[in-house]
Amino acid sequence: MSLPAVAVTQTPEAKFREYLATRARAQRFTEQQREMVAYIFSQHSHFDAEELLDAMKRDGIRVSRATAYRTLAKLVDAGLLRRLEIGPRTHYEHDYGYPQHDHLVCTRCKKMIEFQRPEIDQVIRDVCSEHLFQIAGHTLFVRGVCAECNRARGNRRLDLV
Amino acid sequence: MSLPAVAVTQTPEAKFREYLATRARAQRFTEQQREMVAYIFSQHSHFDAEELLDAMKRDGIRVSRATAYRTLAKLVDAGLLRRLEIGPRTHYEHDYGYPQHDHLVCTRCKKMIEFQRPEIDQVIRDVCSEHLFQIAGHTLFVRGVCAECNRARGNRRLDLV
DNA sequence: ATTCTTGCAAAGCCTTTGCAACTGC
DNA sequence: GCAGTTGCAAAGGCTTTGCAAGAAT
């Protein structure tokens, strides 16, 4: 949420419907999908399947676990969500309408801080070019302790984990 | 395997025994652990639990699945192995005796190409410094198609996935 | 002797899937 | 009405764990 949004011309729902409609064999846009898309793009930035299910249940949106997983997969495929493979659960974040970025992940409070550094992409492009490696994408997480957690624990330890 | 080894003063086994001996409550060095350490540091560079079990079985080393997982955890804790959280299975690689590095991961043949780029660490340090974030480590994977696989498929597609 | 480790099988956790009922188009 | 979707519960894949037997110090 810390980065400026990218200009988009369609709503997430419109983009998803377009995705569904243009599959080799057209897929359907259901009530459950509509609710999920609306819910996800109204607030969440980073979440996993469990958190989403819990939050939706709290807000009275009834979608089964199976459907949630199936819809998340479609949203990723449609380019609306990005998968973040961190820890035991797959996390998701908005892709559509957000710029590419990487994350600082606090190991104490689990917070994710987004950042952008064009230099990193440049270095990656250079490396891949040297190796004749065709880039599809990258994953970069920096693990550590965020400023607040650091303050809270009184800077006791300065060693690396 | 592509990067030069770092000078180390102890054998992996010696370092592991030291780790075990210096725990709050001393842990024991067993025959199974000895065989695993010898096996892992005699050849493997990247592997997951299943591959290790299979390879050891092929070579007549009998260690149960549970013990393999338990020992891998200790080897990581001891600083002998590094965990690579990529895909559904946890992968491991040598940590002790190897320099820090990142990976290009071929999505076709699963090969991992190691590379080192001090600039990346520098950028990460800068970002963390700005955010008052205390770094514990980072994970960087670049997904894509390696030169050989690219050649094999005849450069048909140049689009990104 | 004591206490940690092993192996087995069972359980755990996250995610996927088979299938009958249902629903968007 | 056809073809894709849902929900349930069961299965899957990887990893962890309880426990009794065994081994290291």
Q: Are A95 and A3 in contact (CB under 8 A)?
A: no
Give residue-wise pLDDT tens across range A50-64.
999 999 999 999 999
Which whole-number Å values give the CA distances from A85 to A106, B71, B106, B127, B139, in the listed order?
15, 25, 17, 21, 11
Give residue-wise pLDDT tens across range A45-102.
899 999 999 999 999 999 999 999 999 999 999 999 999 999 899 999 999 999 999 9
Q: Which nucleotides of C are covered by protein (CB under 7 A)?
A: 3-9, 13-18, 23-25
Output Rg (C-alpha) for chain B, integer angstroms.
18
Å between B103 CA and nearest CA of chain A: 10
Strand, coil or helix: A18: helix
Res A120: pLDDT: 98
State how far Cα B150 lies from the chain centre: 25
Of A9-13, A40-44, A72-76, A109-113, where does the model show the most confidence? A72-76
Element (H, E) at A16: helix A12-21
Sign of the dihedral defined by the CA atoms of residues B23, B29, B30, B31, in that order: positive
CB < 8 Å from B in window 9-38 of A: none
Which whole-number Å values give the CA distances from A40 to A12, A23, A81, B37, in the listed order?
10, 23, 9, 47
Give residue-wise pLDDT tens across range B79-124.
999 999 998 999 999 999 999 999 999 999 999 999 999 999 999 9
Give residue-wise pLDDT tens across range A25-43.
999 999 999 999 999 999 8
Q: Which nucleotide is nearest to A48 (CA to C1')?
A: C14
Strand, coil or helix: B66: helix
**What domains does chain A contain, in order, with CATH numbers?**
1-98 (1.10.10.10), 100-161 (3.30.1490.190)
User: Is residue A103 classed exposed, middle or buried when 0-12, 13-18 and 19+ CB atoms within 10 A define those classes?
Assistant: buried
**Mean pLDDT, residues B40-64 taken together:** 96
A-B Cβ pairs (cutoff 8 Å, strict): 118
| Neighbour-count burial for A53-92, b at 16+ CB within 10 Å, e otherwise | beebeeeebebeeeebeebbebbeebebbbebebeeeebb
Is B97 in the A-facing interface, judged by CB distances under 8 Å? no
Pairing between β-strand B102-106 and β-strand B134-145 as defined by DSSP bridges: parallel
**Where in B6-148 does DSSP place strands (E)?**
46-48, 81-85, 90-94, 102-106, 112-115, 134-145
Res A160: pLDDT: 43
Mean pLDDT score of chain A: 93
Is A76 in the B-facing interface, judged by CB distances under 8 Å? no
CB < 8 Å from B in window 121-140 of A: 123-124, 127-128, 131-140
Angle at A89 between CA B46 and CA A18, to 5 degrees: 105
Element (H, E) at B147: helix B147-152
Return the minimum-mean-pLDDT range out of A1-15, B10-24, B135-149: A1-15
A157: pLDDT confidence band, cut at 50, 70 and 90?
low
**Among A106, A32, A71, which residue's Cα sits nearest to residue B128?**
A106
pTM of this prediction?
A: 0.90
Res B161: pLDDT: 41
Res B157: pLDDT: 54
Q: Is the C-beta atom of B89 closer than 7 angstroms to strand D?
A: yes
